[in-house]
Amino acid sequence: MPATQIQPFPLVRRGNRVFPVRPLQQLLCARGHSVRVDGMFGPRTESAVEGFQDDEGIDVDGIVGPATWSRLILTVRRGSNGDAVRGVQEVMKFHDQSDGEGPTINVDGVFGPQTENFVRGFQKALGIDSDGIVGPVTWRALVSGMLSG
């Protein structure tokens, strides 16, 4: 699947309580806008989004669309640590269909072998370069829920 066929970044706004709110909240934390990572896009998350948008000089509307996602994401790879990695790991937990049979997915912010294996497998399933690096194309596929069908 060429990168052009990957779903666009989703629109996420106040009131949303489903995927990808938790990865969004982790990315906000990674960008210095502390929010509680609870999966609920409430007034505090909206305020953090507005603060981020203001900092970045983009339209302040509290809605996370393509322009906000594009500035919010951070490239992470094996050896990376922190909230952006936790965002990737939140996606891993969302996609975990092992019913407890597979290894436990820890949202620990450490991009180690388990996270890299997930990213490479996810990229391979999409038919994009399986380099284990979560850059703009991989982030877009992760947060758009492409494998949740």
pLDDT digits (tens, 9 = 90+) for 112-123: 999 999 999 999
Do residues 105 and 93 make contact, with C-beta atoms less than 8 angstroms apart?
A: yes
Contact (CB, 8 A) for 48 and 26: no
Q: Which residues on neighbouring strands pair with residue 134, listed in sequence order?
A: 76
Tell which CATH classification among 1.10.101.10, 1.10.1760.20, 3.40.50.800, 3.30.70.100 matches the domain 8-141: 1.10.101.10
The whole-chain average pLDDT of the chain stands at 90
* pLDDT 10s digits, 18-73: 899 999 999 999 999 999 999 999 999 999 999 999 999 999 999 999 999 999 99
Tell me the C-alpha distance between 17 and 24, whole Å. 12
The answer, yes or no, to whether residue 77 has pLDDT greater than 50, is: yes
> Structural domain boundaries of the chain?
8-141
Dihedral sign, Cα of residue 52, residue 119, residue 105, residue 18: positive
Query: At which residue do the structure tokens 């609920």 appear?
Result: 40
The span from the CA of 141 to the CA of 41, in Å, is 20
Helices (H), 20-146: 21-30, 43-56, 66-72, 83-95, 113-126, 136-143
Which pLDDT score is estimated for 149? 42
pLDDT for 51 = 98
Structure tokens at 72: 């919010």
Q: CA-to-CA distance for 28 and 87, rounded, in angstroms?
A: 10
